[in-house]
Each structure stands twice: as structure tokens, then as C-alpha cells.
Amino acid sequence: MSGLGAVLGGGRRAEVFALGEAVFKAFSPGTRRAAVEREAAAQRLAAALGAPVPRVRFVGCIAGRLGIAMDRVPGPALGERLMAGRDAPQAGLARMLRLHLALHALPGAGLPGLHPRLAARIGAAPLVAARRGALLAGLAALPPGDRLCHGDFHPFNILGPPGAEQVIDWADAASGAPLADACRTSVLIAPVDAALARAYLDHYVRAAGADPAEAASWLPIVAAARLGEAIPGEEAALRPLAEGARPGG
């Protein structure tokens, strides 16, 4: 391949370029190849488990950039459609819920466990020792689960038309408890729209027939783990959640 085409999108860790009928997710300089290989392996495994994901073509370098080549999915992302007013918020919420529940119906076999990852991130969170210890004890008491958890499920990682969506960005995929993954989505949305974050979690709990008390137990744990990632601009929204508040409450 001689080079990369137009930039189609990107985030903190990577840019996505056109590559003929495919796309190339080019990671930031300095990204370790092992991390890229792990993400590609998780995406391949998710596909083998039955998840709606773009097919990975190869991992390699193009124009000096290390990345993952994969099948191209028609856009725009659900998040872009919502921001542009092309989809009503309730319709977008319904699409997300349907897709998230479908992912959680799949086994997480072969993926790393979610509990150890959460514990490590809570350990890095800027919290007082007593609060960190309480959160770690709470995590240990919760069921680990064995379902497919995406770990970064939000509207900008959902591409494709209604009924034929595909989910991208599988770097944080794990085997774990669906409620933890639903709380993760709520936590990801909270810094942008606290009311929507709360609505999503409430709708998920009802749609899944889950225990609201268990969801309430997971939320501060997942928020503290996200806080441990030190994402710029998120601490003000995440710290109250890690201390036990509800998004939008």
C-alpha cells in the first residue's frame, strides 16, 4: 500500500484514514505494537463471538504509522447524527440499548477479566486511601460476570444504519458483568451530558431486568476506575460519582 487517504475521524489515541474500501486506524507515535496487537486481537475475538464489528484485515505500518486496517463501515457515527439533530434522542437511546444488550448476551470467553482492570485503575485514582479501600472492597464483593463487555460503548463508537450497526474501538473489551459495562457507558457520557448519562443507566436497568441496587453499587466503582485514567477535563464530573453521587442527580 503506497499511502493513506483522507482523514475520516480520530480521537486521543488514533486517527482513522481512508484506505480504498477499507480504513486504517493509525495510532499516535510512540504507541507500543503490543497494545495495537491486543486491540486487534480483541476485535477479532469479538467478531468470532458474534459481535457486530468490522473485520480486521491486518496490523502493520503504512506511511510510517502503526495501525489496524479493517473493513469500512458507512457513517456517520450515531453521536454525530444525534449532535446534528438527524436522530431524535429517544431513538438514539433505543438503538444504543438494543445494541448494548445484544453484546451482553454474548460470552466473554477469551477476553481478559474486567475485575482486575477496574482494581488497577481504582488504585491509580486520586482518592483518599479510605475511599479507595472501600471501593476495592466493594468491587471484590460484586460478581465478576462472564459476558462480553465493550468497555468504551458510547454513541461515537456506533456506526452504520439502524438495524445494521457495528461497534468500533475494542481496546477495552473484557469479560465481565453487564451492569459494570452499562455503568461505564453512563460514566463516559456524564462529563458531556449528566442527564443523558442517568437516563441511559436507568433505561438499561429496566430493559435488562437488572437490580437497581446492584447498578448503584457498580457506578462509583466504575467512576473511580475512569478517574484513575486521568482524562483531562473529566475529574469535576467523575469525582462526585466516585464518591457515591448519581449522574444528573
Q: State the 10-residue block means of pLDDT for the chain, 249 residues long.
A: 79 91 95 97 96 97 96 91 89 94 97 98 97 98 97 96 93 98 97 92 97 97 97 95 83
Name the residue type at position 35. A
Predicted pLDDT of residue 249: 65
Q: Could you tell me which residues come within 8 angstroms of residue 82 by beta carbon, excluding any fewer than 6 positions away? A: 89, 92, 155
Q: Which three-class secondary structure state does DSSP give residue 162?
A: coil
Stretch(es) of the chain classified as CATH 3.90.1200.10:
78-242
Predicted pLDDT of residue 1: 45
Rounded CA-CA distance 66/83 in Å is 31
Q: Phi then psi for 59, rounded to 5 degrees?
A: -110, 130
Helices 114-124 and 129-141: angle between axes, nearest 10 degrees = 170
**Which cell numbers hold the place of 73?**
463501515
CB-CB contact of 27 with 66 (8 Å): yes
Helices (H), 105-128: 114-124
Tell me which residue has cell 461497534.
167
| Element of type H or E holding 62 | strand 56-62
Name the residue type at position 15. E
Predicted pLDDT of residue 133: 97
Q: Phi then psi for 100, rounded to 5 degrees?
A: -65, -45
Report the CATH number of the 7-71 domain: 3.30.200.20
Name the residue type at position 138. G
Tell me which residue has cell 457495528.
166
Stretch(es) of the chain classified as CATH 3.30.200.20:
7-71
Predicted pLDDT of residue 2: 53
Rounded CA-CA distance 51/49 in Å is 6
What is the homologous superfamily of the domain 78-242 according to CATH? Answer: Aminoglycoside phosphotransferase (APH), C-terminal lobe (3.90.1200.10)
